[in-house]
Structure 1
Amino acid sequence: MNHLDPNNILLITDIPGYTPQISRLMSMMNYARYSTLRAVEGLTTEQLDYKLDETSNSIGALLLHFAAVEVAYQLETFEHRDLNEEEMKIWGAALDLGEQGCTIKGNPLEYYVNILNEVRTKTYEVFKTKTDEWLYEEYPFWQERPANHYFMWYHVFEDEINHRGQIRWMKKRLPM
């Protein structure tokens, strides 16, 4: 089943193979991703690499950031651990952005979309094995405050929505 079916993208509903609450979470994640992909559709490598100034991130870096955040939350919620040294070599620049994020460039849109799809596919494969009760499991998180898996996965697409706003703002200012 294609989770980004544009005919059903506005439905927050059950998804076959997933529990009801995980289905609803996925429905929201799907819409966020659908909107992101529409926002970057047709951008060239040069447009994806463009930075407004020395302190800004490129659209390409932000797209890779979405994947890196999702990987970090896969590890946090599925394995209860942080990225290890080897994983940080792969995802660190995209996760932290800033000065490190400046190294993310020279890739066509398909590169970013493929990574986003690979990471999301893994998330959804594991979601098939989880229950609604798992979403509500709590443990100390940011500043040792209690959080549950539901919040953590909400934050994954909330972060994407936030940065998608940046992408739309930047896209209007592209010189090319």
Structure 2
Amino acid sequence: MEENKVDRRKFVSDLALYTIGAGALAVPKPGFSAPVVYAGNINHIGPQAGFSPQIGTLISMLDWVTNSVINYNSKLTVEQLDYLHDKESNTIGSLMLHLAATEVVYQDLTFHNLPDFSPANKDKWEVAMKLEDKAREQIKGNPLSYYKDAFAEVRATTKAEMKKRDDAWLLSGETKDWDWNNYCKWFHVTEHYANHRGQMTWYAKRIPK
């Protein structure tokens, strides 16, 4: 097992370029300077200034799916954000806070090598993370700006921490119980936004007129 980890790190460090086209994608060496293709345009996915190339691309995808969640729900009232389709459902507002909580727990897992939320984050985010009855009772009465602010606060922490790291870190990070590298963990955060965006769409279309 240890030999595999060493070999993987050697493989990553030996790759000098990444190439888009002909179906080939190689990961750049740490420190490789790729063109910044995302410069303020949310619809340009790719490296960003201030981040290593793969991390910048990941951040641009996170920003895109978060923007999609916010934009789709931008016209909903507080009452609509609190709409509960049935006793087993979750409100759109609680799903949005759940997404922020998911990003926070992966910050603790990957940036701080914790097995779960830190104690402070557990107190703040566990209800939104678990959803269920407590979330249905407690997460309500908030305008869209409340959830936007939560996203912005959480994403600022993600970006600040990602700037301290490079692509070699992103490709590392296996854990004892689940063999996911850091890229897979953060891809999961990204697809979690997309997954619940679809769920929100389903609920929004069923809000009584």
- TM-score clears 0.5: yes
The amino acid that maps onto 2:169 is W
Tell me which amino acid in the other structure corresponds to 2:122: M
Sequence identity, in percent?
A: 41
Q: Give, as a single letter, the amino acid of the residue that structure 1 aligns with 2:99.
A: F
SS of residue paired to 2:128: helix
Number of aligned residue pairs: give it: 170
Between the aligned partners of 1:173 and 1:101, the Cα distance in structure 2 is 20
Match of 1:36 among 35, 44, 69: 69
Instruction: Report the secondary structure of 1:105's partner residue.
Output: coil
Deviations 1:79-122 (A, max 9, x none): 01121344222101100111121121111110111011100011
Query: 1 or 2 for the larger relative contact order (CA 8 Å, sep ≥6)?
Result: 1
The question of whether the paired residues in 1 share the 8 Å contact of 2:108 and 2:118 is answered with: no
Greater share of helix: 1
Residues of 1 paired with 2:190 and 2:88: CA distance?
Answer: 24
Instruction: Flag structure 1 segments of 5+ consecutive residues without an equivalent.
Output: none
User: Could you list the runs of 5+ residues in structure 2 that have no partner in the other structure?
Assistant: 1-37
User: Which runs of structure 2 are paired with 1:16-165 in the superposition (5 Å)?
Assistant: 16-81=49-114, 82-102=116-136, 103-140=138-175, 144-165=177-198
Q: CA RMSD in A?
A: 1.5
Question: What TM-score do you get using the length of structure 2 for normalisation?
Answer: 0.77
- Corresponding residue for residue 33 of structure 2: none
Structure 2 distance, partners of 1:117, 1:84, is 20
